[in-house]
Structure 1
Amino acid sequence: MPKISVVVPVYNAGDYLVPCLDSIIQQTYTNLEIILVNDGSTDGSAAVCERYRRQDSRIRLVHKPLGGGGVGSARNSALPLITGDYVLFVDNDDWLEPNHIEYLYHSLTETGSDIAIANFTEFIEERQAFHFHLQAEDYYQKIYTPEEWFAKEYDTQYCLSQCFTVPWCKLYKTSLFENIIYPWEEKVEDDYTTWKLYLLAERIVFSNISLYYHRKRSTSVTKTVDIPSVFPTKSIEERVTMLTLLGYDTSAELRAYRWRLQLHADYYLEKGMMREYQRCLQKIRLLEK
């Protein structure tokens, strides 16, 4: 069994950290290296990490200074430490089905892919309720080229658009991460990074099966940061440039770009940030012309 590295950025995870870590150490795939990056937690999460490190020899622990540097910085701290042949990410308030890693590993190796992706189920914390967007009859598995997978980027069926963007729910060949850096200066980093790993792959296998539980909270990053940070335009500008150079169809990206520009313009106008508002209008006008 090849070694698989599991990276968990930890910051003030509270009561959610224990079920998250339990779901990892109890995986049916056991040859794991579990890298916990405590990003300056002040709520007792550091003590929980230390307790688990003492209990399980597979766990490696990094403590960063108080205040932390954000989830992108935490992932960057973990990447040089990875010794596994494959790597996956888990958010510190989410949890896994017991066969999550084993399923992704077999999907990847049996199809000769570089990245294996599965779907997920949302858990709405405030309502203590699951939001199921998959039924058993929705299952399928399909192998994509990077260009074919990019065609699913804005597909809302089965939450494929979110599956495309997030770093979790995926098993990657570790070799793909050479020279990959997560932006530490951005509040939401995945929209800047995950797509680059797809372009580095040759084959991507997607399984429409829920093996990951994603906890939705009112205090999550995407619920508390500003709209321009959640839906950045800079990331699409970078993608359009790269995809155009590679000869990909960018029509979907351009539609998303226009939508985000208008979203930003509305936000800046409401906040009275007139310079930023006018910059958005200028780009919208150029695209319309």
Structure 2
Amino acid sequence: METVTIIVPVFNAGPYLEPCLDSILAQTYQQLEIILVNDGSTDGSAQICEDYRAKDPRVRVIHKKVGGSGVGAARNTALPLVTGDYVLFVDNDDWLEETHVESLYRALKEQDADISIGNFTEYIDDRGAFRFHLQGEDYFQKVLTPAEWFDYQYDARQGFSQVFTVPWTKLYKAELFQDIVYPEDEKVEDDYTTWKLYLLADKLVYSHAGTYFHRKRSTSVTKTVDTVQVFPLRSIQERVTILSLIGFDVAAELRAYRWRLQLHRDSLLEAGQMQDYQKCLTLIKILDKWT
């Protein structure tokens, strides 16, 4: 059997870490390598990592000396240590249906794909309720080229746009990560990275099933950082450039870029950062003139 490496960045996960790790150990696909990167936790998460290493030989633990460096740095720490054939990411407060890895793996192998993508079920922690959950009758599967998958990037229905951006809910061939580096100086790193993995792939398979359970908390990164950090300019500028050079249709990207410019313009003005505000204003004026 081929090995799937599961990478879990860990930072002060509190009561959520054990359910997360239990769901990983209970996977029906058992040929796993589990890398836990403890990012200097101070709440007992480090001990939980050690307890799981002691109980299961598939678990490896890396303790970072400098804590709080972020999930991008944690992933960068883990990726050179991967010995598996495939890579899958799990956030330390989420959990998996027991067939999550097996279903993604089966779809990838059956379709000879490079990345197997699934959807997710969203759980609102503060309310103790699921926002949406895909049922068995909702299931479908599609084989896609990277260009076809980019059509889902701004589709908000049933979480498609979030599925496109996040690193989890996916099984990747490990070789795709050979030169991938997650940014370590950004609050939200996936907008800079996940799309590049799609372009390095030749074939993708999407399975419309929510076997990954994503916990939304009031302390989640996307809840505690500014909206402009969730929708950065530099990442979409890079994306538009690359997609243009390889001949993709960038009309949707350009609309999104204009929207992000307006978002940054308003935020910068409110914050009194006038030079950066004027830079955004100039770009918007140029776009208004020529498009």
Give TM-score scaled by structure 1 length. 0.98
Give, in whole Å, the separation in 1 of the partners of 2:274 and 2:227.
16
Q: Which string of whole-angstrom CA distances, capped at 9 and with x for unpartnered residues, describes residues 195-218 of structure 1?
A: 000000010000111110000011
Q: Does 1:234 align with 2:256?
A: no
Structure 1 residue 50, shift from structure 2 partner: 0.5
Question: Match of 2:138?
Answer: 138
Asked if the contact 1:133–1:159 (Cα under 8 Å) also holds between the matched residues in 2, the reply is no
Deviation sequence 1:85-134 (CA, Å, 0-9, x none): 00100000000000000000000000000000000011101111111153
Written as runs of structure 1 = structure 2, the 5 A alignment for 1:13-52 is 13-52=13-52
SS at match of 2:152: coil
- Residue matched to 1:8: 8
User: Segments of 4+ in structure 1 off by > 4 A?
Assistant: none
Residues 56-67 of structure 1 aligned to structure 2 (within 5 Å):
56-67=56-67
- Which letter maps to 2:191? D
Determine the C-alpha separation between the residues in 1 that align with 2:10 and 2:144. 32
Secondary structure of residue in 2 paired with 1:151: helix
Structure 1 residues 152-161 or 194-203, which shifts more?
152-161
Provide the rounded CA distance (Å) in 2 between the counterparts of 1:214 and 1:70: 18
Residue in 1 aligned with 2:209? 209
User: What is the identity, as a one-letter code, of the residue corresponding to 2:274?
Assistant: M
Q: Following the alignment from structure 1 to structure 2, what is the Cα–Cα distance between the partners of residues 43 and 279?
A: 43
Deviations 1:11-44 (A, max 9, x none): 0101000000000011000010000000111111
Letter in 2 for 1:163: V
Residue 260 of structure 2 is matched in structure 1 by 260
SS in structure 2 of the partner of residue 258 of structure 1:
helix
Distance 2:20 2:106 in 1: 22
How many angstroms apart in 2 are the aligned matches of 1:17 and 1:53? 13
Match of 2:96 in 1: 96
In structure 2, what residue type is equivalent to 1:179? D
Contact 1:2 1:31 in 2 (8 A): yes
Equivalent residue number for residue 220 of structure 1:
220
Letter in 1 for 2:154: Y
> Secondary structure of the equivalent of 1:195?
helix
Which SS does the other structure have where 2:41 is aligned? coil
In 1, Cα distance between equivalents of 2:106 and 2:260: 38
Q: State yes or no: 1:148 paired with 2:148.
A: yes
Determine the structure 2 residue equivalent to 1:54.
54
* Structure 1 unmatched runs, 5+: none
8 Å CA contact 1:133, 1:158 repeated in 2 = no
Cα pair 1:94 1:215 within 8 Å, conserved: yes
Does the CA contact (< 8 Å) of 2:11 and 2:41 recur in 1? yes
What's the Cα RMSD here? 0.9
Deviations 1:37-79 (CA, angstroms, capped at 9, x unpaired): 0011111110100110101100000000143321100000000
Contact 1:5–1:33 at 8 Å: present in 2 too? yes
Amino acid at match of 1:238: E
Q: C-alpha separation between the residues in 1 aligned to 2:80 and 2:116?
A: 22
Q: Which amino acid is the alignment partner of residue 29 of structure 2? A: Y
Residues in 2 aligned to 1:73 and 1:267: alpha-carbon distance in whole angstroms: 27
User: Would you say 1:171 and 2:171 are equivalent positions?
Assistant: yes
Preserved contact between residue 133 and residue 210 of structure 2 (Cα < 8 Å): no
Q: Which amino acid aligns with 1:157?
A: R
The answer for the alignment partner of 1:247 in structure 2 is: 247
% same residue: 65
The residue type paired with residue 121 of structure 2 is T
Task: Tell me, in whole angstroms, the C-alpha distance in 2 between the residues paired with 1:138 and 1:54.
Answer: 40
Distance, in Å, in 1 between the alignment partners of 2:206 and 2:217 is 27
Unpaired runs of 5+ in structure 2?
none
Matching of residue 123 in structure 1 with residue 123 in structure 2 = yes
3-state SS of paired residue (2:30):
coil
